[in-house]
Structure 1
Amino acid sequence: MDAKAVKKLKVAELKSELKKRGLPTDGLKAVLVARLTSALESSANEEVKDDNGVADMEVEEKVVEPPPAKKQKKEPFYCLPDGYEIKDEPSLRPIRSAVKPTHTPLSVSTLDQNVELSSDAFDNKYLRGYVSLNNLSKTDYISTSVQGLCHVKSVRDYFLLGKELELEGARNGVNLQSGQVGCLVLRFGEVVRKVWSEGRFRVAVDPQDLVQEIVLQSKGKFQIGKQGNVSDFMTWLINMLHRGLLALMDKKSRKKKTTIITESFQGTVVVRSITTQKKDASTENSEFDDSVLSTNKKGLGEESAELEVSETDTTTNFLNLTLDIPHKPLFKDDDKGGLVIPQEPISELLGKFDGKRYLDAVQGGNLTKRRYTIQKLPKYLVLHLGRFTQNQFGKTEKNPTVITFPVDNLAMGQYLDFNGGGSINAPSTEMLNSMSVSELKSTAEKLKIPNSSMTGVEKSDLINLCSSALSSTTSNSYDLVASVCHSSDVNVETTAVDHLQEGGYKAHVRHDASQQWFEIDDHDVKPTMPQLVALSESLVLIFVKKE
């Protein structure tokens, strides 16, 4: 059928031909003719191929109607037990948004600029992304962790666009059964999309499916009705999401061991270990003998000769860093009679990674001193504050020391070690320009630039690669994105009560468009001040690197 024949067709015939090709049948006859003509020409171009298999190019430029927008597939609704389909779209819209919300790239790109309130089906106002998650009985440690990850932009956008559903395992139904690691990824993605959805049925999000999957896959370590340590749970959740995404990938992608989790949170730390052991330690009891540290009647020189000292450097990746809170005595206020809670700046805790301090540890019965230095900082820095410890009564005690930290511009440069020598020594632009090709390649390896990017390139290209990577590596200022804190009415001096079980968690999250901070405490979502966020009893801090 050619263009002339198309023009002679009646409207009913045109609609019939368009319907066969799955094209829209609305519009005037002229529109239908243009639409069918365009479809016929496209079909003809696909059939006529040259020797290289490329369709012949049209000589004349023609104005044709753009192809119709691809409609989003919608799941049907049925009335049970009668089994007939419900097609009343306006009444189903809030239910669809609550059960299975979807997001487009355009809507996701504007989330950080949104200041307008949305309404649920009962006309309750809420701000997208700043809604509560139902507490299923002491599951606030799960809810607050999810709230924090929901405001990590790279992770949020990944799951809002449903990219985990595009992975091979998700398409083929591999590792998706309850109890399998891929199922946890899908349940997490569902909650993220609900938190950021518009036009919800009810404001609060029900995370029951996610919580049940967490209980199942943690083998009961994290339970409903028993308060958990949010630091332990956050570490577990981030690692499980990484494993789950890898399980859903095809074999080729899985070998790279890279997911949105590692792209967002993974950094590198160098650990220097100095181990002191007896020379014949392999034949003796593996338990550490304190006597080897002291001077006895043999004299220091003789005793030292029996010891063997070894130094090793280990480079390892991390998804979060743990900071130890020092134990400080509590003093009573003479005037008011209350307790004086000590304070400690976060810079003092971060000194663990300054490349100068050695921390004592016992490994395999041998005394080990370790020094930590950060070699590569991640885009999102997750810090865990070790606030909970077990006392002699088997109860969990909480260190009430307030850790003060900046909400904006946390400086991490002094803890970044470029060459593994314990101090920053990153080359300047002038130094890069004066380097030879071999020196540039050596620098590129330290910056973790793939070898494939350095193959067959000019010196100027190597300089640009190193310069770009350095600007990212040495960018060392971070802004707080979210935090999780613990609150309890129990007296901090009480040792017979489990402080973890008697308290609860709250999340603090920042709204980028207004720079307003919100406190989310179960169903209570309210504005708060950044000064209060910085003075809370935080356990988890999530920072983002400044561009």
Structure 2
Amino acid sequence: MFSDCVKKNGNSASGARLELFLQELSSFGQMCIGQGEGLSVTRGLTPELQEWLQGKKLATAQYIRKLLDHTMAKRAAEEPLEATYTSPASKKARVQDVQDEDAPSHVENGHANGNGTARAEDDVDDENDDRDAPATSTRQHAPDERYSDLYLDTISRKNIDFDFEKLCSVTLSNINVYACLVCGKYFSGRGAKTPAYFHALELGHHVYINMATKKVYVLPEGYEVKSKSLGDIKIVVDPRFTPDEVKALDKRKEACWDLWGRKYTPGFVGMNNIKANDYLNVVVQALSHVQPLRNFFMLEDLSSRPQVAQRFSILVRKIWNPKAFKCHVSPHELIQEISLRSGKKFSLTQQADPVEFMSWFLNNLHLSIGGSKTKSKSSLIQKIFQGSLRVESQTISARADASDRLRFEDAEIKAQTSPFMILTLDLPPAPLFQDDAEKNIIPQVPLTTILQKYNGISAQERTNMRMRYSLLHTLPPYLVMHIKRFQPNKFLGSQRNPTIVTFNPRALDMSPYVEPNPALHPPGEPLIYDLIANITYEGVKVRDDSVEGEAERKVWKAQVKEGGDSQQWWEMQDLFVEKVSAELLSTKESYIMVWERRKTAKKAKAT
């Protein structure tokens, strides 16, 4: 067939003329194959070959491949193909995960097919392909600019969820992880013999994004896609903010909508409770509304810091992202790192105390951003939350005198100054015996009453010790208070005190509880704090196999205030987010409070 068509065009079937004709036809066949099956292309050929191909009306990739196979099979065996022609890589040497550099194409003992691999001529040549495969792989060129958006219509933004830990779903590797933008799964690598490559071949999912560089590639071809239409996906992977955008977060009033048309407010979004990590959710929600802490983790480059700081930074930015695909986020990536660093003390499968976790988390963030273990106020964490406390202690000693009467001996009072980041407030003991009418009455105590512990006058009795506490100037910009509700019990493990703490969320004056120091604070000047976050506890009765037939399940909720001059409060329990009235805050069992020092106190005095 081929010799007849050559003779009709005046060409000899042997010698240099045939060699030139075969080279041109081979190049044309590779070009057709690279651009797709069934695509007719005749530009760039000699008039002689164009005339013959147009006469056949079969200038397609499929026909050219068959023509080349038939011609090469008839070629004289004494003339090796490698001596004259070059061809694509063998079928065992596919695209590797290398840098995006244009490399020359190599082919040995095979013919190119549509996906950039090589097809052996017969079964005998398979062994030669495996032995002679080139050491360096090739990367296909990106298609023409007009076709650069190929496969982008297969992207499913509703299947994408970048909140989970970046681990390959096949090998569990965290190195060079790519996310499939069609199904949302994670795979490692994008070269030949990698999970991402095989996933593209098996399921036809072609578009992947590198989770570290945010570059998008088409597999198995391996070229990068630089379409601007992918910008929204890159924002969801790793939201970034400018200083002006961060400054405007507290002033933003308009709501946003996710891909499902659900309305949400940036900063007040639900957080997924994977199993029992609601204790972590409420702490993250509260800390993400501490303005200087939030701004630091949204703007600073923490790429060289430990993973706990990096993952908390990403989570905070996702909470405040106005262009999110979903109206909630998941702390899965952060809690996996926390579980690893804490020796599984804090995990997503077991409940924990939010106060213990908050203390551990703040100290680890302090060290992660360069804080010192010995030097005070050496990081932003300590500058925000750390204060000083004077503790006076006196040993209680007693003996019997000659008349067998008990006499207490005076002991030396020892004083020391200790730093703190969380103030613990003790509740008065709940009544042990109640009649039927009193069982429906929940005891209450004002916040100012339990703060008397730190006035420097009231003494606290401990085992063989009398303690007295007083706060020192200057108080930190943010005060974290812990209302101690759980007491150890050798029968029940721990016993909860249900006393309600009543308070006004605005204008808490802390000056009566601070030791006077005219050099640091004018006498009589108030220290006003406003509540910005309140973590509450709620016990829910559930049936179990115990003797009593039911147990109490811990439910944690976070109540946070909108920034700026707004007095609107939001209550968040896992994925449930709703507005709440400020007057109802003190009706819940408060456990952790975050108070912000009012910045207008000095200005009011100056005026």
Q: Which TM-score band applies after superposition, normalised by the shorter structure?
A: 0.5 to 0.7
Q: Counterpart of 1:68?
A: none
Q: Distance in 1 between matches of 2:318 and 2:393?
A: 46
Distance across 1 between alignment mates of 2:442 and 2:331? 36
- Which residue does the alignment assign to 2:249? 111
Q: In the superposition, relative to structure 1, how do residues 257 and 544 fare at CA in structure 2: closer, same or farther (>3 Å)?
A: closer
In 2, are the aligned partners of 1:333 and 1:339 still within 8 Å (CA)? no
Q: Deviations over 1:359-390 (max 9, x none)?
A: 1234xxxx221110001211101000111123
The 5 A counterparts of 1:391-470 are 391-419=489-517, 426=518, 443=519, 447=520, 470=521
1:101-500 alignment runs, 5 A limit: 101-161=239-299, 163=300, 165=302, 170-171=303-304, 176=305, 182-246=306-370, 257-276=377-396, 292-293=397-398, 295=400, 297-299=402-404, 309-329=411-431, 339-362=440-463, 367-376=464-473, 377-419=475-517, 426=518, 443=519, 447=520, 470=521, 474-490=525-541
Q: Which amino acid aligns with 1:372?
A: Y
Residue number in structure 2 paired with 1:84: 223
Kindly state the Cα deviation for residue 497 of structure 1 after the two structures are TM-superposed: 7.7
Aligned-partner SS, 2:328:
coil
Aligned counterparts of 2:547 and 2:370: Cα–Cα separation in 1: 44
Q: Tell which structure's C-alpha radius of gyration is larger.
A: 2
What is the aligned partner in structure 2 of residue 37 from structure 1? none
Deviation at 1:334, TM superposition (A): 5.1
* SS at structure 2 position matched to 1:369: strand
Partner Cα distance (1:204, 1:379) in 2 = 30
Over 3 Å counting, the alpha-carbon distance change for 1:273 and 1:500 in structure 2 is: farther
Task: Give the Å deviation of 1:157.
Answer: 0.8
Do the aligned partners of residues 152 and 88 (structure 1) sit closer, same or farther apart at CA in structure 2, a change above 3 Å counting? same
Q: Report what 1:539 is aligned to.
A: 591
Q: Do the aligned partners of residues 482 and 117 (structure 1) sit closer, same or farther apart at CA in structure 2, a change above 3 Å counting?
A: same
State the partner residue of 1:512.
Answer: 563
Contact 2:339-2:346 within 8 A present in 1 as well? yes
Q: How far apart are the structure 1 equivalents of 2:223 and 2:492?
A: 59
AA aligned opposite 2:244: L
* Alpha-carbon shift at residue 268 of structure 1 (Å): 1.1
For 1:490, what is the secondary structure of its paired residue?
A: strand
Alignment-mate amino acid for residue 78 of structure 1: Y
RMSD: 2.9
The one-letter amino acid paired with 1:339 is N
Q: How far 1:299 moved relative to its partner? A: 4.9
SS, match of residue 211 in structure 1: helix
Compared CA separation, residues 88 and 473, structure 1 to 2 (3 A): farther
Task: Return the letter of the residue paired with 2:569.
Answer: W
Aligned-partner Cα distance in 2 for 1:164–1:369: 48
Map 1:94-105 → 2, pairs under 5 A: 94-105=232-243
Q: 1:147 offset after TM fit, Å?
A: 0.2
SS in 1 for 2:270: coil
Q: Supply the distance in 2 between the matched residues of 1:379 and 1:158 (Cα, whole angstroms).
A: 15
Please report how far the alpha carbon of residue 344 of structure 1 lies from its aligned counterpart in structure 2 after TM superposition. Answer: 0.7
Distance 1:372 1:94 in 2: 53
SS in 1 for 2:240: coil
Contact 1:229 1:500 survives alignment (8 Å): no
Closer, same or farther: CA 489–331 of 1 in aligned 2, 3 Å: farther
Kindly, what percent of the aligned residue pairs are identical? 33
**Unpaired segments of 5 or more residues in structure 1?**
1-72, 177-181, 277-291, 420-425, 427-442, 448-469
How many angstroms does 1:343 deviate by? 0.4
Q: What's the CA shift string for 1:228-249, capped at 9, x where partnerless?
A: 11121112111221122126x9
Distance 1:472 1:121 in 2: 56
Kindly provide the amino acid, as one letter, of the partner of residue 592 in structure 2: V
AA aligned to 1:93 is G
* Runs of 4 or more above 3 Å deviation: 79-82, 254-257, 294-301, 330-335, 471-475, 495-501
Describe the SS at the equivalent of 2:428. Answer: coil
Matched ranges for 1:64-79 at <5 A: 75-79=214-218
How far residue 210 of structure 1 moved from its aligned partner, in angstroms, is: 0.6
Residue 263 to residue 496, structure 1, CA distance change in 2 (3 Å): farther
Shift of 1:394: 4.2
Per the alignment, do residues 509 and 518 of structure 1 end up closer, same or farther by CA in structure 2, a change over 3 Å counting? same
Q: Map residues 41-52 of structure 1 onto 2, 5 A cutoff.
A: none
Note the alpha carbon deviations across 1:484-535, whole angstroms, 9 max, x for none: 10112239xxx97899961210100011353211000111100011121122
Cα distance change on mapping 1:85 and 1:474 into 2, 3 Å: farther
- Is the contact made by 1:398 and 1:500 (CA closer than 8 Å) also made in structure 2? no
Aligned to 2:52: none
Q: CA deviation at 1:319?
A: 0.8
Unaligned runs of 5+ in 2: 1-211, 600-607
Change (3 A) 1:472 1:298: closer
Q: Give the secondary structure class of the aligned counterpart of 1:309.
A: coil
Q: What are the superposed Cα offsets for residues 157-180 of structure 1, whole Å, 9 maximum, x if unpaired?
A: 11111x252xxxx44xxxx5xxxx
Shift of 1:87: 2.4
Q: Provide closer, same or farther for how the CA distance between residues 402 and 297 of structure 1 changes in structure 2, counting only shifts above 3 A.
A: same
The code of the aligned residue for 1:261 comes to: I
CA offset digits 1:171-224 (Å, max 9, x no partner): 4xxxx5xxxxx2211111111111111110212111111101111111122122
Which secondary structure state, in structure 2, belongs to the residue aligned with residue 312 of structure 1? strand
Asked whether the 8 Å contact 2:377–2:383 carries over to 1, the reply is no
User: 1:411 & 1:496 partners in 2: Cα distance?
Assistant: 48
| Mapped partners of 1:124, 1:109: distance in 2 | 26
Residue-by-residue CA offset, 1:418-468 (whole Å, 9 max, x unaligned): 24xxxxxx3xxxxxxxxxxxxxxxx4xxx3xxxxxxxxxxxxxxxxxxxxx
Instruction: Indicate how the Cα distance of structure 1 residues 273 and 309 shifts in structure 2: closer, same or farther if over 3 A, else same.
Output: same
Structure 1 residues 270 and 538 mapped into 2: Cα distance closer, same or farther (>3 Å)? Answer: same
- Secondary structure of 1:108's aligned partner: helix
Q: How far did residue 471 of structure 1 move?
A: 6.3
